[in-house]
Structure 1
Amino acid sequence: MNRKYFKVAVILVSAINVFSKVEAQKKNDFNNPSLTHYLNDEHTRSISLSGYAELWARYTQLNPGSLINNEAKSDVSDLSLRRVRVKMTYKPTEKLMFVLQGGTTNVNVNAKGSNYFDLLDAYAEFSLNDKIQFGAGRSTWRGLSRFTTGPLNTLLYDLPSYATSNAGATDYTVRELGAYIKGQLGKFDYRLVVADPYTMSTSDPKVNVASFSKNSPNKDFSGYFRYAFLDTENISTPFNSGTYVGKKNILSVGAGFDYIHDAMWHQDINKNTVNDDMKSFAIDLFYDAPLNKEKGTSVSAYGMAMHNDYGPNYIRYVGTNNPATSVDVTQTSLNGAGNAMPVIGTGNTYYIQLGGTLPYLNNDKKNLQLQPAVGMQLSDLKGLHDNAVIYDAGISLLMNGMSSRLTFDAQNRPVFTGDPSTSAVVSDRQWQFVLKYRIDFN
């Protein structure tokens, strides 16, 4: 057995031995004791284990010219592991916390040589009080908008595509090495982050089309500020919930920013290289509330407006968990291979999401619920003639709350052709259908 995986197995077995003696305490969605071992009688010091896995079964209509192992394909069906995470949280004192998380992302048949169980998060946090906590290390602590930090109890099958649009460009799976300060002052909470973005090696500068610079990157400054009109939200982790399935009464408004000096470059008409700052600003509104607690019905809604300035005509096309391996350049669209689509660029992006839970199918045990949801992203980008509009509609079966759920999602995306700087237009639209199962443990 590979020594690396043997060590991982030893660590997991040791953790299981610890948690096999966990005393009766707070129950999780499976009505089992949580995987938390308290180190003192006051329950202020602890070690806990958590994680999740997401399995996708998918049918995708591919963009023009898409290739899978050098064979032209117009569509494909596949199985993949979208995310697998294992997390340990250690609180040796009332003021100090250490988080260690590992996992892998986008395990599909086209990436057999690049799927490792990676170190994702490793950071420490010190709490002065509820108003001021600060930490440092590698983490998803970021600013800008509610969903920028990644997925937690998503209403649809995954995050909206704009939310982590710089993933892989300035970070590693939405993670950077940095330091942050955060806190909660009554109904108001905040986070401010300074980070070292990863080297942004993409391409040489192009005429009047910005791209990420190959120069040494400057600091990434971001922040997010939120006011809760009703219940407050937990800010012990960087993630924000997409829905509370009626367990809270939330109405919050947030605003944030993300800035990197000279992150981009392009050439002017005289072929001189010009550096461009990356500047993003966003505001959002989130509402989640029970309708009938006895029946389990609830409503959830989210709206967001974002302005991005990456330099002239910048557009990023991304295919989430892309099933294609390459593209025939003689037949390709602006989207590129597989399921790629424009997710962000210089211009404005708007997003709206609406859903909720229907009455319990098993009212006696208060479980088994259907959760329908719809979402729409509209991006008005300088480098595109037409707006980029992405539609999602889905329904989830919650078997043990949000900890065991099956989600079906239908997504419709635009395909762009033409000159990317003057007349890029929508020439077609393609579908993707995803059946996802997610299981959490905590």
Structure 2
Amino acid sequence: MLTVFKEHIEKRGLLSPSKTYLLACSGGVDSMVLAHLLLEIGIPFEIGHVNFGLRGAESDADESSITKWSMENSIPFHSFHPDTTSKATDEKISIQMAARDIRYAWFDDLIKKRSLAGIVLAHHQDDQLETIFLNLLRTTGLDGIQGMADKKGYLIRPLLPFSKEEILAFAKENGISWREDASNQKTEYKRNKLRLEALPALYEVSEDAKQNLLSSFNRLQDAGKALGGLSEIWLEQNLQKDSEVESLPFRSFINQAGANTLLFYWLRSYGFNSDQAESTLHSAKNQESGKVFFSATHQLTVDREALLLAPISEQFDPVILDEKDIELVLPEGTYELLKEPFDRKIDTSRQNAQLDLDRLSFPLTIRTWELGDKFIPLGMKNGKKVSDFLIDLKIDRWHKDQVKVLVSEGKIAWVIGHRIADWAKCDEATRVALHFKKKN
């Protein structure tokens, strides 16, 4: 096993003798065997152990055992004693979930403080199968069926090619001592029930059932990588981007085989899940224009002909302009406020505005446009709803929601960045223009 282990990490580039790692060690056979292997092939490491105290004296005995081994082998040892029960109660999550969150948060903090190259975990072949089947029970997609990666970010799992049976045999052959966790035999936990009851029954279907499952999942993992690459090509061909918004036309996916998966591969890095991808496809097919989906950081809008992905819009609080103000700062940019004698030269830039100062009443208000807002666009005689005006300009829904208006005594003087109102224009009678000039 030692030779195969060394060849595996070299072939995969998982660990380097020139770097130091953190070994997450519980004291069980898996992590103790991994500690022995790392020591034997000369990979520098430190040990991190979380004593949750959930098994009383047994938990303390686990820590003592690892401490003794670390001292005997001159390996730096770090331990942590968190209050897992309080976290689980406060956050209304299971003890197992609280323990996992605590463990990884502490490991992450420790590798940063110690400038370590990564966290080495003792997950093996059997853990891989358990994880895959747990994911299947959670209605996972292709990613879940692929299981755990041998290296992802700073997480490194060099034992994935080895079975529990091989690990136990190696431990016995080399006189490696370890601690048994009695809670691993409790079948009220889903993982334990899979490990102790469901998977052994499945493996009895045929002698090679376990190996065939692993081979099948390896092929699925390869298929997932291929699909990921193809989805990137598909996005490059169809996704349109500007500074803030990504736009994906309906025609690129509505009739595309596997559209749910393609949408999910696009959206997952922005925090959306597979159910949201499926709902998005349904809304697009049913032309539910205006439907919005949210992740923690982004919003996905179903527009008339495309999906629009953008950061969640921050609420804009109205800005009050006093007559003495010389600058207007908006999310879209900063404007100079210039009071100039009107010389009949018109600034034709849509992003700027020249208004007749005498026709305005201060203070002026800048706010987001609202349903029911109306104004008379420059050059027209009749009023028009701002919503209709923006539709006529073919502005997509996300950008439309960002549009703001300048208001004087309840009347819209300027739909900012698009059109001034006819009543506020400069003409032959204008003496002084209030010039909103956007800075570059």
Range class of TM-score, shorter chain: under 0.3
Structure whose alpha-carbon radius of gyration is higher: 2
Which one has the bigger strand percentage? 1
TM-score by length of 1: 0.20
